[in-house]
Chain A
Amino acid sequence: MKGFALGQYYPADSVIHRLDPRMKVIAAILYIVASFLCKNFFAFVLLVVSALFLTLVSKIPLKILLRSIRALIFIMIFTAVINIFWFTEPDAEPLLAWKFIKIYRGGLFNALFILVRILAMVIGTSIFLTYTTSPIALTDAIEHLLRPLAKIKVPVHEFAMMMTIALRFIPTIVEETDKIMSAQKARGADFTTGSLMSRAKALIPVIIPLFASAFRRAGELATAMECRCYHGGEGRTKLRILRYHVRDFVALFVIFLFVGGIIAINIFGAKYGWVYTM
């Protein structure tokens, strides 16, 4: 647990790392929208190219990127398989027919499209958000972007404060869990054998002290925050100032160009009847 690091932030010096976190949140949203817009083969080609481009520019090693994909591999295969079997094309000849199972060319393509779409979304969001933006910068960005909502009494500042404190204390609590588990093991607690029920029961000596300690920490932290004049978000200044740079607008322009490109391909595709190929 010594090397515990929260999130998947991968420190590197790339253009994407240097972008304003607010811009990255917007970019991630636009990227997801774009991947849903893709309607034909060529739009998907552009999507794949863009994902490769992002990977290259972000300087995130492929090995690390693949890790976040691995976590979703089951879902991806599952949706793809479902699509292959569910797809029916009334006019077309199935590629394969066996009893009630019919596989069409369109089904294969659809499955492929969905795979590409999920892959692109995962790569896009993890590159824009998790890998290149520290959790704290992300919290900051979300607070800024949601700030207009504070006018209609949405507790944006409080939400951001909660996020910050959670981020601050997760490593501490993880370490503490480790310690309490060791302490109970030293008293003969067994967390690894027995039925599911007895294993769940074995966790009681861990969970109760953990809660007691979390409450104690919360109380002490609240006192310390009060002592440091915390009185809500009103009249607060911030050390970290978010400033848009030229590169942020360039990035936004590129993203818009990309979304525009996908829309254009879709329009052309509709006109010439492209779906799976030209």
Chain B
Amino acid sequence: MSKKKKLMAETELASAEIIHPAEDPKLRLLNVSYIYSKGTPFEMKALDSVSLDIHRGKLTGIIGHTGSGKSTMVQLFNGLTTPTSGKVLLDGEDIWAKPKEIGKIRFRVGLVMQYPEYQLFEETVSADIAFGPKNMGLSGEEIIERVNEAASFVGLPQNLMDQSPFDLSGGQKRRVAIAGIMAMRPEVLVLDEPAAGLDPQGRRAIFSGIKRYNRETGCTVIIVSHSMEDMAEFCDDVVVMAHSKVLMAGSRDEIFSHAEKLEEVGLDIPQITRLALMLEKEGITFPESLYTVGYATEAFAALFDLGEGGGV
């Protein structure tokens, strides 16, 4: 309870209005700004006093254009970059309270960067997945257990574990890289564009693996992605970034009911949502916002009074 009090005190102190506030957030950004190359001609504000809560145990999607500040944000979560001003709170504690121990934060907030397959370096897949746990100083048995667990979450078959990661296909390499972070059993798993460049099958496999990880471990997961359709399907909460600020944040229902606002900032809304907007102009309305094919099929079936007897 004292933790919560402290958190509230901190927030009051910063007099920040938190977007999408939670009573006991896993992560909280308090008035966070980040400026690139400060004092050079290339100076650029990547984040502009952002205050935001990431809800405990949820799968949160962060969307926005390249340069909207979302990639900077994820690197702030695990202390890879230091905010120019403001605070990053993990379980209510400032992650930069003891700068020397920032390494510990990185074990608690695992970050999978973009195109993570390019960071593989070990001789075998299992050795590469074990790199993080080894750096944590875990025992051999524990490492083996964690490696196997992580491999099963991302769907890596056992027979690949002793192969060189360099011999795998692109999609498999990606899974190895993600498993490498999962094996550290972070409290928060952050993934920057985990499915970029993969084909539909590979994309689905990665997203469902991540979702399963979130549901089974209860670990807070944050995904950064351009793909609205994937976000609409897999996330609980959505944060929309634009021009170095949070444009909006909330449950995916809330966010996708503001589809026009998303389109205004030039983001790709899911095709289905676009369809619903077009139909709305024709006077055909739906009680709820549509963003996945499953929901939409039900909604249209209701609209047209289609029975279940029609077959699939």
Contact = CB atoms under 8 A, between A and B. Distances in A.
Q: Tell me whether A and B are bound partners.
A: yes
Interface of A: 2-3, 176, 179-180, 182-190, 204-205, 208-209, 212-213
B113 A186 contact: yes
Nearest to A208: B121
B110 interface: yes
Interface string B68-99: 00000001001010000000000000000000
A213 B78 CA distance: 25
A186 B181 contact: yes
A182 B132 CA distance: 13
Contacts of B110: 186
Contacts of A3: 36-37, 40-42
Interface in B255-299: none
B193 to A, nearest CB: 13
Contacts of B131: 184, 187-189, 205
A206 B80 CA distance: 16
Given A187-B132, A188-B132, A209-B118, A182 B113 contact: yes
Contact of A180 (B107, B118, B136, B184): B118
B113 A183 contact: yes
B180 A187 contact: yes
Interface in B141-177: 166
A2 B78 contact: no
Given A186-B80, A186-B113, A188-B103, A209 B120 contact: yes
Interface string B119-148: 111000000000110011000000000000
Which 8 A-B pairs rank lowest in CB-CB distance, beginning with the nearest?
A188-B135, A3-B42, A208-B121, A183-B119, A187-B132, A3-B37, A186-B111, A183-B113
A212 B165 CA distance: 11
Nearest to B112: A186
Nearest to B132: A187
Contact of B119 (A2, A188, A204, A209): A209
Contacts, number: 67
B45 interface: no
B203 interface: no
Interface in B56-78: 75, 78
Contacts of B211: none
Nearest to B37: A3
From DSSP, what is the main secondary structure of chain B's interface residues?
Answer: mixed
Contacts of A209: 118-121
Contact of B184 (A179, A184, A187): A187
Contacts of A205: 119, 121, 131
14 contacts: A2-B44, A180-B118, A180-B119, A182-B113, A183-B116, A183-B119, A186-B78, A186-B106, A186-B110, A186-B113, A187-B181, A187-B184, A209-B121, A212-B118
Contacts of B135: 187-190
Given A183-B116, A205-B131, A208-B121, A188 B107 contact: yes
Given A186-B80, A187-B180, A2 B42 contact: yes
A213 B118 contact: yes
Contacts of B40: 3
A5 to B, nearest CB: 9
Contacts of A180: 118-119
Contacts of A204: 121
Q: Counting chain B CB atoms within 10 Å of each CB, which of A180, A183, A184, A190 scores highest?
A: A183
Given A3-B40, A3-B42, A180-B119, A212 B166 contact: yes
Contact of B80 (A2, A182, A188, A190): A182
Interface in B8-52: 36-37, 40-42, 44
Contacts of A184: 119, 131
Contacts of B119: 180, 183-184, 187, 205, 209
A209 B121 CA distance: 6
Contact of B37 (A2, A179, A182, A212): A2
Contacts of A185: 80, 106
A189 B180 CA distance: 13
B205 to A, nearest CB: 22
Contacts of B78: 186
Nearest to B123: A208
Contacts of A186: 78, 80, 106, 110-113, 181
Contacts of A179: 113-114, 118
A267 B78 CA distance: 71
A215 B132 CA distance: 26
A7 to B, nearest CB: 16
Given A176-B118, A183-B119, A188-B136, 20 more contacts: A2-B37, A3-B36, A179-B114, A180-B118, A183-B118, A185-B80, A186-B78, A186-B80, A186-B106, A186-B113, A187-B106, A187-B119, A187-B181, A188-B106, A189-B135, A190-B135, A209-B119, A209-B120, A212-B118, A213-B118
Contacts of B136: 188
A3 B181 CA distance: 30
A212 B112 CA distance: 19
